[in-house]
Amino acid sequence: MKKNKISKNWINKQRRDIYVRRSKVDGYRSRAAYKLIEIDEKFKIFKNGDSVIDLGAAPGSWSQYLSKKIKNSKIVSIDLREMEAIENTVQILGDFTEEKNQFKIKDFFKSNVDVILSDLAVNTTGNKNIDAIYTGELCMEAMLFSKKVLNNDGKFISKIFMGSTFNEIVTKAKLIFKKVKVFKPKSSRKNSKESFIICKNLR
């Protein structure tokens, strides 16, 4: 009974959500597209010709936006879950933290890349502190990967949760990048601990 009530509340929340409704009209696979759109509008992330890696890409709304936004781009999307094909993108099914998948990504680009995006998050446990720690670990993994494959003037954008690892991640980012900002888009739900760390220019 309790599970049914939670499911019903979630469905009602989705129906009321303006970004869920907009995503259906605009053809995006999820409301997450609008978070990236806000980030791009505020921080001027993408330009034509960029090479981009989309980590934790499923169901694919960020890659959809990239495909529309950037001309003459090279985009690799990777996730543990299968996605429907997206025009102008290459998809890898697997865990980006595995060395074989990192090799596939590097082999595709043959050179350093311009932007790395990470919307990686663990399946929620219901304990927000634990979820923040695990998602923080994924953010750190993505950041260290970025250090290896980004151009000197490259950009790294990642989901980050407010919690015990937040300050550690921001401190680490400032050691790796010259410019670091934390931003919570309007399209991110108010009751969510989610923000995004925006990093530019490797040290």
In a domain, 14, yes or no: no
Tell me, yes or no, if 155 is annotated catalytic: no
Q: Which of 35, 159, 172, 200 is catalytic?
A: 159
* Domain that includes residue 197, residue range: 32-202
* The pTM of the whole model exceeds 0.95: no
Question: What total of structural domains would you count in the chain?
Answer: 1
**% helix, strand, coil for the chain, step of 5:** 45, 25, 30
Domain contains 39: yes
CATH code for position 69: 3.40.50.150
Q: Is there a domain that residue 18 lies in?
A: no
Is the residue at 151 inside a domain?
yes
Q: Which of 19, 9, 14 minimizes the C-alpha distance to 186? A: 19
Residue 113 near residue 53 (C-beta atoms within 8 A): yes
Distances (CA, A) of 9 to 1, 4, 18, 49, 186: 12, 9, 16, 43, 22
Determine the Cα–Cα distance for residues 46 and 53; give it in Å rounded to an integer: 12
Closest CA to 138 of 108, 118, 155, 153: 118
Three-state SS across 103-172?
Answer: HHHHHHHCCCEEEEEECCCCCCCCCHHHHHHHHHHHHHHHHHHHHHHEEEEEEEEEEEECCCCHHHHHHH
Residue by residue, pLDDT tens for the chain (203 residues) are 544 544 545 444 545 678 788 888 787 999 899 999 999 999 999 999 999 999 999 999 999 999 999 999 999 999 999 999 999 999 999 999 999 999 999 999 989 999 999 999 876 666 777 777 888 899 999 999 999 999 999 999 999 988 778 899 999 999 999 999 999 999 887 777 789 999 999 99
Q: Respond yes or no on whether the N-terminal peptide bond of residue 59 is cis (omega within 30° of 0).
A: yes
Q: Is residue 11 part of a domain?
A: no
